[in-house]
């Protein structure tokens, strides 16, 4: 959750409930995700923007929820910010069952409800929040830059999946779209994070997931 520029923003909506998924441990989940969001002070109606760093099943699931047998937008007053080129690539993957399952229940209903705004990879979202291109995990993957009071932070999305990739940026994830651009993005961003002292929110990192990339001469370290 981000509060900036008078807006409330959700970045990546995890897996969602009631959804049929090929991976057994993601299939037909029944979690208290939305109850926790409400308890933190963010009811669905308070959200202005839903932002997806990329379009994979574990980042778009709570875009929608099941109501009377239909998938409806979870955040009814929000605009859903989808990468224009990311969507163009994703919607062509309906012949892949792993892609089709979430396109049908978590993306297409948003488009059909006319709640999707298609943005560029370097879009300014609001005061202090902008996107930067970080391709490789998907063709048009983005990360989210936050700037306030002279400080800078980045929500990485899936440019890395584990802190070990800070030290070993050429260790790949099997779910990366293409290995070489994913490695290039990691190496470029790690250098930038270290030089700028950026606070890094590793989307898939275990708690505590926020820390800084430290240059140790022959390698980087992630320190919380």
What's the predicted TM-score (pTM) here?
A: 0.94
pLDDT at 42 over 90: yes
pLDDT at 68 over 90: yes
Reported as a pLDDT band with limits 50, 70 and 90, residue 99 is very high
Reported as a pLDDT band with limits 50, 70 and 90, residue 56 is very high
Residue 60 pLDDT: 98
Provide the β-strand partners of residue 143: 132
Q: Return the domain boundaries, the chain.
A: 2-119, 134-223
Q: What is the pLDDT of residues 124-171, one digit of tens each?
A: 999 999 999 999 999 999 999 999 999 999 999 999 999 999 999 999
Homologous superfamily of domain range 2-119: Ribonuclease Z/Hydroxyacylglutathione hydrolase-like (3.60.15.10)
Whether the CB-CB separation of 154 and 198 falls below 8 Å is answered with yes
Whether the CB-CB separation of 215 and 196 falls below 8 Å is answered with no
Q: What is the pLDDT of residues 4-36, one digit of tens each?
A: 999 999 999 999 999 999 999 999 999 999 999
pLDDT at 217 over 90: no
The H-assigned helical ranges of 120-178 are: 164-167
Mean of the per-residue pLDDT values for the chain?
96
Reported as a pLDDT band with limits 50, 70 and 90, residue 175 is confident
Helix, strand, or coil (residue 216)? coil
pLDDT at 172 over 90: no
Six-digit token string for 67: 């109501």
pLDDT at 177 over 90: no
In the block, residue with structure tokens 């069952």: 97
Average pLDDT over residues 184-191: 96
Homologous superfamily of domain range 134-223: Ribonuclease Z/Hydroxyacylglutathione hydrolase-like (3.60.15.10)
The yes-or-no answer to whether 2-119 and 134-223 have a common fold is yes
Q: What is the pLDDT of residues 200-211, one digit of tens each?
A: 999 999 999 999
List Cα–Cα distances, 8 to 100, 126, 128, 222, in angstroms: 29, 10, 12, 28
């Amino acid at each position: 959750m981000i509060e900036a520029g008078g807006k409330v923003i959700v970045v990546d909506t995890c897996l969602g409930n009631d959804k049929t998924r090929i991976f057994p441990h993601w299939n037909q989940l029944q979690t208290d995700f939305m109850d926790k969001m409400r308890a933190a002070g963010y009811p669905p109606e308070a959200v202005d923007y839903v932002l997806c760093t990329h379009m994979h099943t574990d980042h778009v699931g709570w875009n929608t929820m099941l109501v009377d047998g239909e998938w409806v937008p979870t955040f009814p007053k929000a605009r859903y910010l989808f990468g224009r080129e990311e969507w163009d690539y994703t919607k062509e993957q309906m012949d892949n069952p792993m892609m089709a399952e979430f396109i049908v229940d978590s993306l297409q209903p948003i488009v059909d409800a006319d709640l999707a705004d298609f943005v560029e990879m370097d879009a300014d979202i609001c005061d202090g929040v902008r996107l930067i291109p970080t391709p490789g995990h998907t063709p048009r993957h983005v990360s989210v830059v936050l700037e306030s009071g002279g400080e800078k932070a980045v929500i990485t999305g899936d440019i890395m999946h584990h802190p070990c990739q800070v030290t070993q940026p050429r260790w790949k994830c099997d779910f990366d779209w293409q290995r070489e651009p994913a490695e290039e993005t990691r190496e470029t961003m790690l250098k930038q994070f270290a030089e700028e002292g950026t606070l890094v929110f590793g989307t898939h990192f275990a708690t505590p997931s926020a820390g800084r990339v430290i240059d140790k001469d022959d390698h980087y370290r992630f320190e919380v």
